[in-house]
Amino acid sequence: MLIANFDISSIKIEGDKKQEYLKKLFQKCNVEYNARKKLLYCEGGREVAFGLMYQGADDKAGPNYTGAECSGFLLYKL
């Protein structure tokens, strides 16, 4: 079982302005994402291939949903 706090808006994927890439990937892999509670959830093992490459930190990201200053992640599709 996996239960994880995850704010999808902290991830910026090149060419994915509506943030649909990860949502569709989670759905395809049977991983539940609750945007309101910022939770990822799944039971049982699975392999998830993200198909993304880390590009760097986004120092202009500003505060996260809790109000804490943080940098976001910049990624691009392989």
Q: What is the pLDDT of residues 25-61, one digit of tens each?
A: 999 999 999 999 999 999 999 889 999 999 888 877 7
* Mean pLDDT to the nearest integer, 10-17: 89
The pLDDT, as a whole number, for residue 75 is: 73
Domain extent for 15: 2-63+70-77
The pLDDT, as a whole number, for residue 38 is: 93
Burial of 20 (0-12, 13-18, 19+ CB in 10 A): exposed
DSSP state of 52: E
Q: Does residue 76 surpass a pLDDT of 80?
A: no
Share of the chain above pLDDT 90, in %: 50
Tally of domains within the chain: 1
* Residue 39, Ramachandran bin (φ over 0: left; ψ between -120 and 50: alpha; else beta): beta
CA distance 11 to 22: 9
Q: How many CA atoms lie within 13 A of 73 on its CB side?
A: 13
